[in-house]
Amino acid sequence: MSYYLSETFREAMVIFYADDDDDDRELFADALEEVDPAIQLILARNGFEVIQLLESQKELPDYIFLDINMPLMSGKECLMRLKRVDRLRSVPIIMYTTTSNKEEFKNLVLLGAADCVVKGISFKAIKDSLRSILSA
């Protein structure tokens, strides 16, 4: 849980994570909890939920992680939509996926993704990946 001290300062980092796979969301949440229990995580199951959540939030998240392959609105579609919203352009969007296609990664970065990360094959790999991204 985060505590808001003012309109411009909050104690905890806020991360949005969208993934249609329940197990992947749970692993991400557990890994993030171990990396930094103070981080507030907001979960969504697809790009539409991310858009709805962001529209209802006054403050912006520090990072948005999007799975590429989701029903209703894919991560790529969500990325393109978010990058068209002025107030969201500065929020780093990390594409978080099982694919390792370098051409797809290049395309996603050209569309505005801050980075593309292959989902870890182990819990330790997920934690290491999160530590690396959040400390950059």
Task: State yes or no: pLDDT of 6 exceeds 60.
Answer: no
Q: How many domains does the chain have?
A: 1
Return the higher-pLDDT residue of 6 and 27.
27
Can you give the pTM of this predicted structure?
A: 0.88
The proportion of the chain whose per-residue pLDDT surpasses 90, expressed as a percent, equals: 71
Amino acid at 17: Y
Q: Which domain holds residue 123?
A: 14-135
Dist. CA 21–CA 17, nearest whole Å: 11
pLDDT of residue 11: 67
**Polymer length of the chain:** 136
Dist. CA 103–CA 116, nearest whole Å: 11
State the CATH number of the domain containing residue 126. Answer: 3.40.50.2300
Q: Indicate whether 8 belongs to any domain.
A: no
Dist. CA 4–CA 42, nearest whole Å: 16
Dist. CA 21–CA 101, nearest whole Å: 20
Contact 43, 25 (CB under 8 A): yes
pLDDT digits (tens, 9 = 90+) for 53-92: 998 888 899 999 999 999 999 999 999 999 999 889 899 9
Q: Indicate whether 125 belongs to any domain.
A: yes
Return the higher-pLDDT residue of 100 and 78.
78
Dist. CA 63–CA 134, nearest whole Å: 9
